[in-house]
């Protein structure tokens, strides 16, 4: 699934990237004998960044909101195998996921660019740095070596983000309480207007495709947190009764009813 970073997370990723570039450039200039090890530092840095981003997604597990929701009465628990089966039967889901698949392919391409660039350019940079004692030249050679692929990766990531205007995030394991919904990467309090940060959710119920989803706007992107269930009529009734959504839409084949 595509992961849409918030503006704050995007700013953090830029700051983190530039910090890594500064560190690696200094190491290469003053300790050129360790040039081959800086790639390992780069990989460790990328893994650390990914872990930080994942932790920000999974923080709901120990959040105050999650604890408050769990204090309520559990009304529904999903079956992951059932969800996988319903996903497989939903013929329209593949078309909805295509933009995100293309976005993921671009992200993979950006990593291929980074892995290919490093040995190609830095073999050349090592020779240039060894042939001069000018500190500015050595700084420029190594800085260019990091900034060019970083710029390419950033542009590819921006392009991939703009490709995806409608993100479908299927929640494969979730629980519904009278105080809210908990799932992987999802914490929604009931009633819906009480959610932290002012998030406004529209609820869409599609009995034909067996899902209920929470729809919200994040900048120019529409994010759909989708809950598949064989008992989607019961699920929709629970969400409507306890969530009290201001905007509840029922979608049927060939018609739409609010």
- Domain-located, residue 80: no
Most confident listed range (18-32, 56-70, 183-197, 242-256): 18-32
The predicted structure's pLDDT at residue 212: 97
Beta strands in the chain (DSSP E): 74-77, 166-170, 174-177, 180-183, 186-189, 202-206, 211-218, 221-228, 248-252, 255-257
Same domain flag for 151 and 24: yes
pTM, rounded to two decimals: 0.69
Residues 48, 148 within the same domain: yes
Q: Are 107 and 216 within one domain?
A: no
Q: Does residue 71 sit within a domain?
A: no
| Mean pLDDT value across residues 159-167 | 77
Can you give the residue range of the structural domain that contains 32?
A: 7-57+97-163
pLDDT at 50: 65
- Kindly state the tokens that stand for 49: 């960044």
Co-location of 181 and 246 in the same domain:
yes
Residue 51 lies in a domain: yes
The reply to whether 110 and 227 lie within a common domain is no
| Phi/psi at 129 (5° precision) | -65, -35
Alpha-carbon distances, residue 62 vs 43, 54, 58, 134 (angstroms)? 29, 14, 8, 53
168 CB-side CA count, 13 A: 20
pLDDT of residue 60: 45
99-103 average pLDDT score:
79
Domain-terminating residue out of 163, 190, 220: 163
Does 221 lie in the same domain as 102?
no
Do residues 126 and 202 share a domain? no
Name the domain count of the chain: 2
Domain termination site, one of 107, 130, 163: 163
Do 154 and 178 have their domain in common? Answer: no
Residues 230 and 194 in one domain: yes
Quick one: 205 and 238 in the same domain? Answer: yes
Q: 157 with 30, same domain?
A: yes
Q: What does the pLDDT average to over 222-243?
A: 95
Domain-embedded: residue 245: yes
Segment among 2-6, 137-141, 143-147, 150-154 with least mean pLDDT: 2-6
- Considering the domain architecture, whether residues 119 and 238 belong to the same structural domain is answered as no
Q: Is residue 62, in this structure, part of any structural domain at all?
A: no
Residue 83 inside a domain? The answer is no
Domain boundary among 118, 140, 163: 163
202 in any annotated domain = yes
């Amino acid at each position: 699934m595509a992961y849409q970073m918030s503006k704050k997370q995007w700013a953090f990723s830029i700051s983190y990237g530039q910090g890594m570039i500064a560190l690696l450039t200094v190491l290469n200039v003053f300790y050129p004998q360790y040039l081959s090890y800086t790639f390992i530092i780069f990989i460790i840095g990328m893994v650390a960044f990914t872990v930080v981003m994942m932790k920000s997604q999974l923080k709901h597990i120990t959040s105050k909101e999650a604890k408050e929701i769990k204090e309520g009465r559990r009304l529904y628990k999903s079956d992951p195998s059932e969800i996988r089966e319903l996903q497989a039967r939903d013929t329209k889901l593949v078309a909805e996921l295509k933009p995100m698949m293309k976005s993921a392919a671009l992200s993979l391409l950006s990593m291929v660019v980074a892995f290919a660039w490093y040995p190609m350019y830095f073999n050349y940079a090592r020779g240039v740095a060894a042939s001069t004692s000018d500190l500015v030249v050595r700084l420029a050679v190594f800085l260019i070596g990091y900034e060019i692929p970083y710029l390419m990766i950033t542009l590819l990531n921006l392009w991939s983000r703009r490709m995806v205007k409608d993100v479908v995030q299927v929640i494969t394991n979730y629980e519904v309480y009278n105080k809210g919904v908990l799932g992987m990467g999802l914490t929604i309090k009931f009633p819906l207007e009480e959610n932290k940060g002012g998030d406004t959710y529209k609820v869409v119920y599609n009995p034909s495709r067996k899902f209920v989803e929470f729809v919200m706007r994040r900048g120019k992107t529409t994010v759909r947190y989708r809950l598949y269930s064989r008992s989607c009529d019961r699920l929709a009734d629970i969400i409507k009764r306890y969530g009290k959504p201001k905007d509840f839409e029922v979608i049927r084949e060939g018609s739409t009813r609010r």
